A and B are shown apart, each in its own frame.
Chain A
Amino acid sequence: MHNLTLAEIARNLAEKRFSAEELTRTTLARIEQLDPQLNAFISVTDELAIEQAKAADARRAAGENGVLLGAPIGHKDLFCTQGIRTSCGSKILDNFKAPYNATVVERLAAAGTVTLGKLNMDEFAMGSANESSYYGPVKNPWDLTRVPGGSSGGSAAAIAARLLPAATGTDTGGSIRQPAALTNLTGLKPTYGRVSRWGMVAYASSLDQGGPMARTAEDCALLLSAMAGFDAKDSTSVDQPLDDYLAALSQPLAGLRIGLPKEYFSAGLDPKIADAVMASVEELKKLGATVTEISLPNMQHAIPSYYVIAPAEASSNLSRFDGVRFGYRCENPVDLTDLYKRSRAEGFGDEVKRRIMVGTYALSAGYYDAYYLKAQKIRRLIKQDFVAAFEQVDVILGPTTPNLAWKLGEKNADPVSAYLEDIYTITANLAGIPGLSMPAGFIDGLPVGVQLLAPYFQEARLLNVAHQYQQVTDWHMRAPAGF
């Protein structure tokens, strides 16, 4: 049962081979047995899951047949869940039970999904390894001595280990795509504004985007169909009709124009990853695609620009965590400033404090123009690169990450080296375009991801290309030993 995809679960539930309650109980037992090896879950929501599963069975018995009705999922622990801890991987929110549900949670629940728990993550989604969580690092099921990637590392590890068929993630600089690549999953960062951010704990508001993580593009299409769409509660939500993501999957790829950015294949990329990526290109050519070399000349400036914009927005967003209205408060504060300073110093971890300080500095008097404004100008240059590239090609293809999953602790002493792991993913967040990572092979037993980028709101195209690729390859079907 645990090896089934969402699409396969839907068929089995519809054919009454098992009930949602049976599936949920089996899944809960598997989480209890195997998660201690991974640390993928912060909270397991047993009671809620059984209750939702029974409700799904009742709805099905009453004649409903929605594809996600009774499907088990997990939520990254920054999506607010009413009455259930929403920690954001932080001590400062360890005692926080949201009084409401995020729109994404609400929509997936309305579609009949069963929430099995809240998934571990880098604290406030800041990280590329899932080592900065207050609840401890998550292990990569392909090699338990290695990181699963971050910040949606709990979501990634849980799906890769077959503890869940699918989960939500969020992507501010690559946090869906990078862990998907390092754990052999399909993960989609939609266009900025396509999926509501209401009820997502904000890190960098102009970059954060929620999206689906699963084993196949088909499953991501199923989830996106339920998650996406206009939300009046989110002022950045885009009021534009959705595509039929499932129908788009079967489109043939004949005539598809793929662009390979030369900057993605330069120094810094593991040559074995480059070989795997090019092998995926050959498969897509067999399916009828044509390939052109393109250039994204400002890509090299994306990381410096991101590490000004994201911390600047974080320093503003995280000012709400002050120990006054919710969350952690220090013991016996002597005055209000002491309450703020000690609550935040004791509640936040090192990486969060680092980014808040970088952001505070970048926005402080005298430095705004040199840092924040400069970064926003570079952001436009990066967007212009994509606009120009998409005049020549339909999708852009390259590696998702420059390296394979690294050893736990390997980059802890040097945060800057970890920042560089997001070099291929960050540009999509700065420009706001959609991006997808799909499994494309293995090197020394570790997964390799290929990234696809498309123009605004062309998630259907990304899912279509990945699905067609997954019809002729089986990388995405492979499971880690022991799970």
Chain B
Amino acid sequence: MALERTEVEKIAHLARLGLSEADLPRTTETLNNILGLIDRMQAVDTTGIEPLAHPLETTQRLRADTVTETNQRDAYQAIAPAVEDGLYLVPRVIE
């Protein structure tokens, strides 16, 4: 199915990707080409086939519920765009 311009805008919003007016036609065309490739799989009969999420079909390994990490806040915040008093700064969220 071909995507319309409004659907592309919606997907970009869901993905939190800014998309300029100028980019929309080219993006829409490229996405439709890719979806054309992907849609070929609809012809495959998968009746009764279980989806395969993990190549080795193993279950998630569990560990003891104990703290193993050390506090590295300073190291992590040293590479942050904006911090203050140990907090990450972003534009005002609540008016």
Contact = CB atoms under 8 A, between A and B. Distances in A.
Interface of A: 95-97, 99, 191-193, 206, 232, 235-236, 238, 298, 301, 303-305, 307-308, 315, 319, 322-329, 333-342, 344-346, 348, 353-354, 356-358, 360-362, 364, 370-371, 373-381, 383, 414-416, 419, 430-433, 456
Contacts of A415: 30, 33-34
Nearest to A298: B44
B56 interface: yes
Interface string B28-41: 00110111111111
Interface residues of B, number: 51
Contacts of A377: 46, 49-52
Contacts of B40: 301, 304
Per DSSP, are chain A's interface residues mostly helix, strand or loop, or mixed?
helix
A206 B60 CA distance: 13
A354 B39 contact: no
A31 B67 CA distance: 44
Contacts of B39: 304
A286 B53 CA distance: 41
28 contacts: A97-B79, A99-B75, A99-B78, A193-B55, A206-B53, A232-B63, A235-B60, A305-B41, A323-B81, A324-B80, A325-B80, A328-B81, A333-B90, A334-B91, A335-B92, A342-B18, A348-B17, A354-B34, A356-B15, A357-B11, A357-B15, A362-B38, A375-B41, A376-B52, A377-B50, A380-B50, A381-B49, A456-B56
A275 B41 CA distance: 31
A121 to B, nearest CB: 20
Contacts of A236: 54, 58
Contacts of B33: 414-416
A307 B40 CA distance: 11
A361 B11 contact: yes
B54 A364 contact: no
Among A303, A322, A325, A364, the most chain B Cβ lie within 10 Å of the Cβ of: A325
Given A304-B41, A335-B91, A315 B15 contact: yes
A353 B31 contact: no
A345 B18 contact: yes
Contacts of B41: 301, 304-305, 308, 374-375, 378
Contacts of A325: 76, 80, 88
Contact of B54 (A206, A328, A335, A378): A206
B42 interface: yes
Nearest to A361: B11
Contact of A324 (B60, B63, B88): B88
B2 interface: no
